[in-house]
Amino acid sequence: LSIKAEELVMLKKLGSGNSGTVSKVLHLPTQKTMARKTIHIDAKEVIQSQIIRELRIMHECDSPFIIGFYGAFLHEGDVVICMEYVDCGSLDKIFKLTGPFPDFMLKHIAYSVLSGLVYLYDNHRIIHRDVKPSNVLLDSKGNIKLCDFGVSRELINSMADTFVGTSTYMSPERIQGGVYNIKGDVWSLGLMLYELASGKFAFGGAPGGAAPGVSGLKGDPQIKTPDSILDLLQRIVNERPPSLKESDGYTPELCEFVELCLKKEKDRPDPHELLKHKFLADFPEPDSLKVSAKYRSDIKKWAKNVRRVQKGKPTK
């Protein structure tokens, strides 16, 4: 499928981040609804063409935990990526509507993100590099899908040059400039789970503060808001990572799982090891593709209700 800019009709703006803008669009020839991401890159045309070539690997990514890809092209100096539209949107948006997530959704998210990371790495040697709530999507059937992973070397390099913000989900070893490996994504997953479970920023800070992660989160009154992004990065490197407490009603399995994700690099398990953790004991092996029967109906019901709330209907 070769998509042309003029074949896409804008339906709705979905959001924008550091890298670009995402819109819901209709592809006229196929009548398919898609998500179109436009990334402005100040690079020579050879580099831009190289990015488009590298993005083609996404055609080969075929996993229920990875966003579907329709194609990419250059348009008026922008890199345009057409991907599957995921109807409930990203976890940060959903969090704003629902508040802290129930335990079965945290399990389902952990299981799906780890399975997606394992798929990308084992099949394509791809490290995600940007696991955060806005890059994890939920559809109304209950599927969790990863997007915005580091497929294109040139895109990663070009974005590093134009990068304006710093992600609060970066691991301590990455902040310190170490080699980046798949365990960095595990750290990011741990922070994300901490925030989605507790509704608090992991390293202090309040909405509108130095570097908000999930908007809608409350700053932890026990922890001082970081003064600046540098202050925050210093904390990630130097301070003890946050932990969930059983006394706040979390299961011991969840508390231990998050704690393992937030260990220093050498003690942190990799995604394969974490998939065997008892927190995920009710979930099947990564390639069996099925959500555990025990949770399947709860997950579907929860996802359907998110969609109903987004449409302004009462929950069922």
Contacts by 41-50, CB closer than 8 A, 24 or more apart: 41/77, 41/78, 41/79, 41/155, 41/158, 41/159, 41/162, 42/158, 42/161, 42/162, 43/154, 43/158, 45/74, 47/154, 47/158, 48/74, 48/77, 48/79, 49/74, 50/154
Question: What's the CA gap between 46 and 3, in Å, rounded?
Answer: 20
In the list 48, 112, 115, 135, the residue contacting Mg ion (rule: CB under 5 A) is: 135
Question: What's the CA gap between 35 and 24, in Å, rounded?
Answer: 5
Q: Is 37 labeled as ligand-binding?
A: yes
Beta bridge partners of 35: 24, 83
Query: Residue 288 CB: number of other CB atoms within 10 A?
Result: 10
> Does 130 participate in catalysis according to the annotation?
yes
| Residue 71 contacts ligand ADP per CB under 6 A | no
| Residue 64 contacts ligand ADP per CB under 6 A | no
92-131: which residues touch ligand ADP (CB under 6 A)?
A: 93
Shortest reach from residue 264's CB to ligand ADP, in Å: 27
Shortest reach from residue 20's CB to Mg ion, in Å: 9
Shortest reach from residue 40's CB to Mg ion, in Å: 15
Residue nearest to ligand ADP (CB): 17
Q: 21 or 50, CB closer to Mg ion?
A: 21
Shortest reach from residue 24's CB to ligand ADP, in Å: 7
In the list 3, 20, 183, 219, the residue contacting ligand ADP (rule: CB under 6 A) is: 20
Instruction: Give how many residues touch ligand ADP by CB under 6 A.
Output: 22
Q: Catalytic residue among 42, 87, 92, 130, which? A: 130
Q: Which of 82, 79, 71 is nearest to 154 (CA)?
A: 79
- Secondary structure tally for the chain: helices H, strands E: 11, 7
In the list 1, 4, 5, 18, the residue contacting ligand ADP (rule: CB under 6 A) is: 18
Sign of the four-CA dihedral 290, 186, 262, 233? negative
132: which DSSP letter? S
Shortest reach from residue 284's CB to ligand ADP, in Å: 25
In the list 8, 61, 69, 89, the residue contacting ligand ADP (rule: CB under 6 A) is: 89
**Footprint on this chain of ligand ADP (rule: CB under 6 A):** 14-20, 22, 35, 67, 83-86, 89-90, 93, 134-135, 137, 147-148
Q: Can you say which residues are annotated as belonging to the binding site for ATP? A: 37
Q: Can you say which residues are annotated as belonging to the binding site? A: 37
**Footprint on this chain of Mg ion (rule: CB under 5 A):** 135, 148
